[in-house]
Amino acid sequence: MGFYIIIGLISLISWLVSQKLKNKFKYYSTIQLQNGLSGKEIAEKMLHDNGIYDVKVISTPGSLTDHYNPLNKTVNLSESVYGQRNAASAAVASHEVGHAVQHAQAYQWLGMRSKLVPVVNVSSKFSQWLVIGGLLLSAFSGNSGIGFAIAVLGLLMMALATLFSFITLPVEYDASNRALAWLKTNNMLTNAEQDGAKDSLKWAARTYLVAALGSLAMLLYWGLQIFGSRD
């Protein structure tokens, strides 16, 4: 019973942090930059200041869909970030370029995460089904050996996703630190704008932290279900 309460609390916290992040970005989107630069222009300047000229800055549909793609070397900024000239767009644009800088400098944690991406993309689709299917097979067919093996396979896939979520943490925090340091060192923002960018990225990072904890909690839950059923 206690474990279900923990899962519920993590889910609630995740929702609250997500809502807080949306509200923060909405608020800081109203703070117009005195330098007049758009998210696209800030991203391009940060790239060039770091000696990176083979990465393109492009617009991508949606909200909070911003990301860096190391495969085709593109900084993808959502429409609201790409063309806007506010503290929120400055924070997001520079953060995504932070990933491009990591890539250019062969940042170890980014390399580890990139290697896990194709594996996690596959395992995340099947892991929970394998766990549930294995448990059901053990319960209804009487063939506990095969069912247990299937469930454990699913659990191992789930563990990879959990590992991925924790490796993501230093990658995201480092990208934010690089972004904020560049913005401050180059006097890109006023003090108020810098504080807004820092606050925005702080809440964005917390979404990754909560997601990692949620992934760990689910891994432990299913682990108890699998190995507890063997008693």
pLDDT at 231 over 80: no
The closest alpha carbon to 187, from 100, 90, 98, 93, belongs to 90
User: pLDDT of 13-32, one tens digit each?
Assistant: 888 888 888 888 889 988 89
Task: Give φ, ψ of 55 to 5 degrees.
Answer: -115, 130
C-alpha separations of 31 from 19, 84, 196, 197 in Å: 19, 11, 8, 10
Q: Does 196 have pLDDT greater than 60? A: yes
- In the chain, where the domains are located: 2-228
Residues 65-76: pLDDT tens digits? Answer: 999 999 999 999
Pick the catalytic residue: 44, 96, 172, 193?
96
Q: Cα separation of 80 and 93, whole Å?
A: 11
At 145-178, the pLDDT tens digits run 888 999 999 999 999 999 999 999 999 999 999 9
Rounded to whole angstroms, the Cα distance separating 161 from 179 reads 27
96 belongs to the catalytic site: yes
- Backbone Cα Rg of the chain: 21
pLDDT at res. 7: 76
> 């800088």: which residue's tokens?
101
**How far from chain centre, in Å, is Cα 220?**
21
> Residue 195 — very low, low, confident or very high, per pLDDT cuts 50/70/90?
very high
pLDDT at 13: 87
